[in-house]
Each structure stands twice: as structure tokens, then as C-alpha cells.
Structure 1
Amino acid sequence: MQIALTGKLAKAMGVELEPVNDEQNPLFTWTANWTTVWDNRRAEDLLVLVNHATRFTVAVYQVKRKDLKGMPEMIKQAIANTLLYMNINPEIVEEYMSLCGDVTFTRNSNRKAAAWVTRAGLDTSVYIGHEYNGIAKMFRDTVGASINYGLVNYSGKFDDGFMPYEKMVTALTELTGKQAYKYRAFELMVTLDLDVYQAERRIIVPAGLEFTRLHEVLQSVFGWRNYHLYDFTFFDEKSERTTVLTEPLDEYWPGDEEIVLIEGRVLADFMPEHGTMVYTYDLGDNWEHEIELLRVIENYDQESPYLLEASGQTPPEDVGGVGGFVEFREIMLNPDHPDYETMKEWARFWSPELQDWEMRPRAIRV
């Protein structure tokens, strides 16, 4: 595997650079840069790599100067973890990493690649700024995954644009001759009871999906904006015990056996043993989504998370729970109501019915 380093990164690493091998398959060639995420900091903390054949991005946060000593292993692990995070067939990932061989470092002389890695760093920084507070000490080597769902290479002709994720999947399947996806999956029905109707989303998700990502999936398909806290609740009828998965919060007693921290937990830890659970979003408005396991798919061979069908519009944020939504909806369905214009301005783009694109089956890329 050939890693072309930007001048700044090469200087920081202090490694001996080898001559560029122009005969190297671009699928095994990456350009790497080391940059900052936060404007108020001088020290670099983000390692970004872009693949030359596909423009696929891999990024690692937080990477300090002392961490650069372990660059070869860090890079290979980050590439593998990002591909696995996006549910690529583990057999493909293993074969690709084997074919990559040992890491060699060269100086970057490709202007296009330099521009690509700069842009990828900016896009990843925006994602990190949105998802993380910049205070907690952390290490994540999959923060670049979502960047690969964005369109690139469209500055000339729009038809020339492509998603790095799709191009990488195609390249890897052609390289290995193996199917792109092969994993255990769950088909779930998620129902939000709003009294006047039910908002339902039927989805397929990997069995190994972390609950933190399931939260992101549910936010996406229900149109929530991730403004509030959330948790997942399971109830065991035999033991009559309730288990709540949550992020660490002061109001939860750390000694409470019913409270389980959500970090690192995946769906398969609880399903199919538990056939149902409740996802509660906004602990004030208390939007309770009942999640029912419909089917276990042992060898799923398609991209997921995936929305199969959707019905029923989601309430706007901060409307006041189910009761507040019922009242709000009555006003919005009656243009002659004295509060109609006020509510319409407050709700902005909210509509009583789902748009066609919201109901259309599609991959959920979060």
C-alpha cells in the first residue's frame, strides 16, 4: 500500500520517503494529510486519507503528534474499520487489506490528490463539528465514512459526478470477485402512535448496528432533527425487569442495574431475544416509538440500513408531545383558524402529509 504524504505530514512524521511507484494500482494508493478541526486550536488532530482510484475517504480523529509513530498500523486499521462500518462484506475487506501489502510512504506530487484530501478534510471537519463537542478525549477511525455518500467530480459535467462509496464498492467487488454485502440483518417495524394516526417506518438494519447509529437512522427516517436526548427500553416479561440503554447522564444513578450505557452496544445484544423495544426521543415531549422485530435475515446481500416503506407524517420538534401535536394539526388543517398563520410561520416547511421522496424505498446513509 502506497501512502503519499503531504509536506506537513511528512515533516511531522520524520520518516524516510521512498520513490513514487507509478506502476502501483491506484486502488492501493492513498494520499494522507494531517490537519485541524477546530479554528481555536493550533495542534493538528485529524488524519485524512483519500483513495486515488475511487476518492474514498478514511479519517481518524483525534490523532496527536505522538500517535504518528504508529501510522502504518493506524492507517490499515482505519481503512478496514471504515469499510466494515459501511457493512462491506468482511471477506472483501480481509482480501483487500491482504492485497494492499505493507505500507510505504512517498511524498505527494499529485495536485489533484492534494486537492481531494484538502476537500475531504474540510467535509470531515464539518461532520465532526456537528457530531462532537471537541472537548472530550476520544479516538474514532470511522469519522470519514459519511463523507463518501456525497457527490464528487461534478465541477466539469454533472454527469461525471459519482459517490466515492459506490465507486469503492464496485472496485472491490471487481477486484475480489465476491459479493459486496453478506451479513445478518433485522427487519423492523417502527411505530409512533400520535392518537389521530400512526407514523410507521419499516426498515432493514444490520444485526451488528450500534444503538447510537440506530438512533441516527430513526432520526433520518422520521425527520427528527436530533435536538434532544433519547434512550432505548427493553422489557423482559419473565423477569419483569426493564433495561434502559442511555448515554451517561447525571440524572441516572450509575449503580442502577436497570440502566445500561449505550456506547458499544449493538442490536444483536438484545434481539432476537427481545422481540420489541421502545425508542424514546425528546424526554420532554416523550415521543415513544415502538420497535417490533419482524424478521431475521441470516445472509442479507444488499446495502442497509434501508427504508422499505413509510407512512404518516412526523410532528414538528417541540410541539408539546402527542396532545400538543393533535391541537397543532387541527389548526394546520383549518386555514380559517385564528392561529393558523402563526402556527404556519412557526412550523415553517412542515406539511400534514409525507412527500413522495420521503415514502420512497431507499438506502439510509447516516
Structure 2
Amino acid sequence: MQIGCTKKLLDYLKIQAVPVDTAIDPLFSWSANMIMVNQRRTIVVSNDASRYAFILYGIKRGDVKNIEILLLEGVRACLETMCFAPSIIEQYFQDCGEQVTFSKTANRSVVAGLNNVCEHAYFFFNRYSPEVLLQRQVIRYLNTNFLTVKTTEGSGYVHISDKFSSDIEQKYGQPLFRCKAAVFDVDLELDSTCHRRVLIPLNCTFREFHNVLQTLFGWLNHHLHDFWIERHPNGRLKYTLTGFPREFEEEGETTKDDSLVFLHDVFPQYREIIYNYDFGDSWIVHIRLHEIVDDYDKNHPVCLDWEGEAPPEDVGGRYGYAELLGILKNPEDPEYKDMMEWYRGSRHQLFDLGYVNRRLRNW
């Protein structure tokens, strides 16, 4: 596998570059640069054909001796994040070779693309974790940018992830995707039914799962959240995943960053967990594992079924929502006009399965 490095990175690695092999298909060639993010050395690596990228964050001198292993691990993480079939992943490594060679960057076009990826990488400075070098949890976010491509009508734009997927498909054909996924029954505690059934790859983080749940309920991610994984026999929380930093943990409670824990780390060991959103309104969502799917043929979530509307943000919790519904059903109520005006300004939308699945397609 050819890794084209900038002079800055080559100097840091203290590696003598070999000549660039221009005969290598850009699909099998990657380029790398080193930048500073949060005062930490960060290596940004992108594919020469599609700019699909990954991040090594907080590199130190002691990590240099393992740089080849780290780079190969990063490329594999990209392929796995895309949910490519295991047979395609193994064929890719056979075709590009698992022996890493370091060259200078291939050409100006590749350097321009790499610089663009580096600029994009700065936007996610608050998502990087010092606990790990390979930032698997940001791979999907990092590759949501657009790429200019030539078309029969001139030029157009395509998501970097879609370009990477298209390149792999042209090389290896179908079936392109195959991964382990899970079907969850998701129920919001209300006086009425509010149910969603969703199929989602197990290689996503709980932070990404949080975003999926926001889409399923039409919420706007305005508030804090956490996941309650396990309780002590006395009912106190034992194992929690959180989306915000805590100064300390409660005695007997283990708290982890939900962006660093993947669904496959929790399921199927646990069959039911709780998602707690908006600590003021306190929305309690029961998430029950329905089944594991071993050969899911997509790389994104799909809402399979639904029943009942979800409440809007900031309505005052379960009882505030019940009060809102009661007022809106009675135009003669003295508060009807004010509440209707508030509801229209809440930007809340009624559930539309097609719209939700289009949003989940680009999660």
C-alpha cells in the first residue's frame, strides 16, 4: 500500500521516501499530512481517488515505530465503517498490498484534496478523544463533505462517502455491503403510543445512535442525553453512556463517553436499555433488542415501522404534552390561540416515513 506523505510528515517520521509509483490505481493509494489539533499532533490520511479519510490523533514519538500498523488499521476502519462486505475488504488489501511504502505526495491535485480534508478535520476538534489514536468515532462525520466530480453535463457534486462506495463498487461489483446489524423496538413513555422499529448497523457509536433517535422522533438535538445500560439491584445506575463530560462519577457507577462505545460493545449482551433525553422534560425511551441480523445489505439505518406521533421539543415533558394535546383539541379553550402559535413555532413535523428514511440514508 502506497502512502504519499507531505515533507512535514516525512521529516517527523524520519523516513526516506521512495519514488512515487504512478502506475498504482489511486483507489489503492492514500496520502497523509500532519497538522496540530488541540495542541496534539494529528495525522490526516485520505484516499487519493475519493478523499475518504481517517484521523490518527495525539501521535507521539513512541507511536512512530508502529506507524505502518496504525495506517493499515485506519484503512481497514474506513472499509468497515462503510459496511463493505468482508470478502471485499480482504480483496482490497490483497490488491493494494499490506506492505506499506512511503513516498512523496503523488501530484498537486492530490495535495489540494488532502489540504481540503485537513481543513475539514479542524471542524471536529471537539469530537476527538485523547484516549485512542485511531478516531473511529469521527470517520462518518469526517466524510460527509462534498467532492466535485466531472459528469457528462459538466461537473457536479457528490458526498465523499458515496464516491468511495462508487469506486469500490466499480472495482468489485455487488453485493457491496454486508454487515451485522440489529432491529430495535423503540418506545417513548407517553400516555399514548409512540413506537418506532429501526434496523441499524452495529458498528455505529452510541453518539450516532443518539442522532438516529433524534431523527426518529423529529427532535432537534437541543438538550443533553445519556443512555442507561445497567442498574444495581437497588435501582441506582451502574453503567451509563453520556454525551457530555462529567466532573465526577457517582459511587458505584461507571460512565463512558458515548462517542467511544459502539452498539456491538453492548448488544446482544444487554437486551434492553433506556435513552434519556432532555433532563428537564425527561423523555424516557425504552430500547429493546428485537433481533440480530448477520448479513444486512445496507450501510445505513432504516425505519421499518412506526405508530404514533412524538411530542415537540420543550413542551414540558409527558404531562405538558398531554396538556398541549387537550388544549389543541378544543378551539374554545382560552389558551388555544397561544398554544397553537407556540406549536407552529416549535418547528415540529408530523412523522413521515419516507422523509425519515431519506435523512437516515445520509446519517
Per the normalisation by structure 1, the TM-score is 0.79
Distance 1:301 1:51 in 2: 24
Distance 2:262 2:46 in 1: 29
CA contact (8 A) 1:185 1:205 kept: yes
CA contact (8 A) 2:214 2:220 kept: yes
* 1:331, distance to aligned residue in structure 2 (A): 6.3
- Determine the structure 2 residue equivalent to 1:139: 133
CA contact (8 A) 1:230 1:281 kept: yes
CA contact (8 A) 1:308 1:362 kept: no
Distance 1:253 1:244 in 2: 10
- Deviations 1:168-190 (Å, cap 9, x if unpaired)? 23333444456322233221221
Distance 1:342 1:13 in 2: 61
* 1:326, distance to aligned residue in structure 2 (A): 3.5
- Determine the structure 1 residue equivalent to 2:197: 202
- Deviations 1:136-182 (Å, cap 9, x if unpaired)? 55433323332323331169978632223233233334444563222
Aligned counterpart in structure 1 of residue 216 of structure 2, from 208, 212, 221: 221
310 and 167 in structure 1: CA distance in 2 versus 1, 3 angstrom threshold: farther
Matched, 1:4 2:4: yes
Distance 2:353 2:51 in 1: 32
- Deviations 1:36-65 (Å, cap 9, x if unpaired)? 334xxxx55321122122222222223345
124 and 314 in structure 1: CA distance in 2 versus 1, 3 angstrom threshold: farther
Matched, 1:33 2:28: no
Distance 1:125 1:278 in 2: 33
- Determine the structure 2 residue equivalent to 1:73: 69
Matched, 1:182 2:181: no
- Deviations 1:307-342 (Å, cap 9, x if unpaired)? 334565544444331223334556678697453487
- Determine the structure 2 residue equivalent to 1:255: 252
Distance 1:332 1:50 in 2: 53
SS at match of 2:318: helix
State the identity as a percent: 25
Q: For structure 1, which runs of at least 5 residues remain unmatched after alignment? A: none
SS at match of 1:339: helix
Equivalences for residues 114-125 of structure 1 within 5 A: 114-125=111-122
Q: Name the aligned partner's letter for residue 4 of structure 1.
A: G
Aligned counterpart in structure 2 of residue 283 of structure 1, from 259, 279, 282: 279
CA contact (8 A) 2:200 2:302 kept: yes
- Determine the structure 2 residue equivalent to 1:54: 50
Q: Name the aligned partner's letter for residue 339 of structure 1.
A: D
44 and 292 in structure 1: CA distance in 2 versus 1, 3 angstrom threshold: closer
* 1:273, distance to aligned residue in structure 2 (A): 6.1
Distance 1:305 1:53 in 2: 26
- Deviations 1:68-110 (Å, cap 9, x if unpaired)? 4433222111111122133222332233223322222222252
CA contact (8 A) 1:303 1:363 kept: no
Matched, 1:191 2:187: yes
* 1:344, distance to aligned residue in structure 2 (A): 5.7
Aligned counterpart in structure 2 of residue 150 of structure 1, from 115, 139, 145: 145
Per the normalisation by structure 2, the TM-score is 0.79
250 and 75 in structure 1: CA distance in 2 versus 1, 3 angstrom threshold: same
357 and 114 in structure 1: CA distance in 2 versus 1, 3 angstrom threshold: farther
Distance 1:234 1:44 in 2: 35
Matched, 1:325 2:321: yes
- Determine the structure 2 residue equivalent to 1:350: 348
Distance 2:154 2:288 in 1: 41
* 1:23, distance to aligned residue in structure 2 (A): 0.8
Count of matched residue positions in the alignment of Structure 1 and Structure 2: 353
Matched, 1:19 2:23: no
- Determine the structure 2 residue equivalent to 1:245: 240
CA contact (8 A) 2:81 2:139 kept: no
CA RMSD of aligned residues (A): 3.7
- Determine the structure 2 residue equivalent to 1:292: 288
Equivalences for residues 297-308 of structure 1 within 5 A: 297-308=293-304
SS at match of 1:186: strand
CA contact (8 A) 1:5 1:107 kept: yes
